Amino acid sequence: MDKRYVYMDYNATTPLREEVKAAMVEDMDVYANASSIHEAGRRAWGRVELARGKVASLIGSKDPKSIVFTSGGSESNNTVFNTMYDLGRKEDGTLGERCKIITTSIEHPCVMNAARRLADEGFPVVFLKVDGTGRIDLDELRRELDPSRSAGGPTLLVSVMTANNEIGTIQDIASIAAMAKAAGALVHSDAVQAAGKIPIDVEAWSLDYLTLSCHKIYGPKGIGALYVRKGARAEPLIRGGHQEMGIRAGTYNNQGILGFGLAAELAQRDLASLAARLRSLRERLRDKIVARIPDVRVNGHPTEVLPNTLNVSFPGAEGEAILLSLDLEGIEVSTGSACASGSLDPSHVLMATGVGPELAHGSIRFSLGRLTTAEDVDYVADKLEPIIARLRRMSTVSSKVE
């Protein structure tokens, strides 16, 4: 079999779409500051506003002004938690009556660490557990939202990611938001991994905040957005000029914003067909792995899962060794192993789903995307089988799933 180059790490980032790249290159000559009120400035501003509408449309918002452009997902998430730092305290700096924060134990590190910072500042913060499939327990959420049945007082914010980056599990955001709203809380969802893969509807779900990143939807890096429902408060992380309704200062990133707009438009146009195609490729890959390699465990939810994300544990083999073996064959994936992350602990997401450290260390995430083909999937399955067999042969650890 000829060696191929197979990129299966689309959840890490995606290649820039040709159309987006071309539009951005063309826009490079539009140097005017979109805040300037002369003609060139107005023309640049027009492009920014057109893009804003396209990003709003991707997530079901009819209000383009609800979109605040940021540098990416981490900044958007931090803006929300930083806002809670203000909303949760009284003028004298002490904690207000409503200051409880509810999030989950499987969020992206930027949410986890922003929430931990609030906990360090004295806020009551709850990290909801997830079940073996990666979903939160709605009864536990209901209990945490009820001050008569849990500690911490009334809830200020519920922040639950739409879909998980590592295992792809999709949460029931509509139900979560309805419960949070009924308890008087604000609702945020980190939709960085969900955007472009599943339909998002901030209005139907009645969210207050939603986080987006452009480079996960075949656009450029360094640009993202925060949806802020009309009337919801948002405090700037970066203070300065009046850009972005005063929520995010800094000169407009014209090319990034333009690229984001086009990427969002194309993502919305292609969503249904791309999701259907990727779902079938994901199933093909899963079925081949399960049929050909003994003692594997498919992680995440069996049905409520992103169409492109397949997370599999290979007990007895270690993730970094699997990843680098695949890399030598031209296949690029990621792992939940500690050895690949530079930390000592394996994936907090897999550990939260209750798989032991051994299954977490031996996990591989295959994330498929626009350019993935059936031939790529077959190539990966063919190469994976002898790699796992070889690593297991030299392993001290049994491959049996307990």
Partner 1 sequence: MSDAFEWLYSPIVKEHFTNPKNVFDPDEGFEPDAQGVVGNIKCGDQMMFMLKIKDDRIADVRWKTYGCASAIASTSMLSEVIKGMPLRDAYTIKPSDIASRLGGLPENKIHCSVLGDKALRAAIDSYLEKTGRPGAFKGEDAVVICNCLNITDRDIEQAVKDGARNWEQLQAATKIGTVCGGCKPRAEELLHELVHIYGD
Active site residues: 339
Q: Which listed range, 53-61, 154-162, 182-190, 314-322, lies at the site for partner 1 (CB under 8 A)? A: 314-322
Query: Interface residues for partner 1 in 130-159 (CB under 8 A)?
Result: none
Cα separation, 305 vs 301, whole angstroms: 6
Burial of residue 269, with CB atoms counted within 10 A of its CB: 0-12 exposed, 13-18 middle, 19 or more buried: exposed
Q: How far is the CB of 397 from partner 1 (least distance, A)?
A: 4
Binding span for partner 1 by CB under 8 A among 22-30, 42-50, 93-101, 338-346: 338-346
Number of residues that make up the chain: 402
Q: Which conformational region is residue 294 in: left (phi greater than 0), alpha (psi within -120 to 50 degrees), or beta?
A: beta
Residue 231 touching partner 1 (CB under 8 A): no
Q: Which of 89, 193, 200 is nearest to 134 (CA)?
A: 193
Smallest distance from the beta carbon of 384 to partner 1, in angstroms?
Answer: 16
Q: At residue 361, what is the residue type? A: H
Least distance (Å) from partner 1 to the CB of residue 322? Answer: 9
Tokens of 184: 């008087």
Residue matched to tokens 């396209």: 54
Q: Are 401 and 295 in contact (CB under 8 A)?
A: yes
Least CB distance to partner 1 at residue 367 (A): 20
Choose, by CB under 8 A, the member of 67, 110, 141, 340 that binds partner 1. Answer: 340
Q: Which of 60-68, 119-127, 169-177, 334-342 is the region at the interface with partner 1 (rule: CB under 8 A)?
A: 334-342
Nearer to partner 1, 300 or 315 (CB): 315
Residue of 338, 349, 368, 380 that binds partner 1 (CB under 8 A): 338
Contacting partner 1 within 353-372 (CB under 8 A): 357-358, 361
User: Strand runs (DSSP E) across 151-223, as ranges?
Assistant: 155-159, 186-190, 209-213
C-beta closer to partner 1: residue 256 or 319: 319
Three-class secondary structure of residue 128 per DSSP: strand
**Nearest of 162, 171, 215 to residue 190 by alpha carbon:** 162
Residue carrying structure tokens 């910072």: 117
Q: Does 13 bind partner 1 (CB under 8 A)?
A: no
Stretch touching partner 1 by CB under 8 A, among 59-67, 131-139, 263-271, 318-326: 318-326
SS3 label, residue 44: helix
Binding-site residue total for partner 1 (CB under 8 A)?
24
How big is the chain by its Cα radius of gyration, in Å?
A: 22
Our finding on whether 113 is near partner 1 (CB under 8 A) is no
Verify binding: residue 313, partner 1, rule CB under 8 A: no
Q: CA 45, CA 243: separation in Å to the nearest integer?
A: 11
Q: For the chain, how are helix, strand and coil distributed in percent, rounded to 5? A: 40, 15, 45
- How many CB atoms lie under 10 A from the CB of residue 164? 30
Among 324, 354, 371, 374, binds partner 1 (CB under 8 A): 324
Least distance from partner 1 to the Cβ atom of residue 39, Å: 46
Among 22, 276, 328, 371, which residue sits at the site for partner 1 (rule: CB under 8 A)? 328
296 binds partner 1, rule: CB under 8 A: no
Closer residue to partner 1 (CB): 300 or 319: 319
Pairing outcome for strands 100-104 and 6-7:
unpaired
d(CA 145, CA 209): 18
Number of neighbours of residue 152 by Cβ within 10 angstroms: 17
Query: Is 212 or 360 the residue whose CB approaches partner 1 more closely?
Result: 360
Closest separation in Å from C-beta 358 to partner 1:
5
Among 207, 271, 321, 377, binds partner 1 (CB under 8 A): 321
> Residue 400, interface with partner 1 (CB under 8 A)?
no
Positions touching partner 1 (CB under 8 A) are 316-321, 324-325, 328, 337-340, 342, 344, 346, 357-358, 361, 393-397
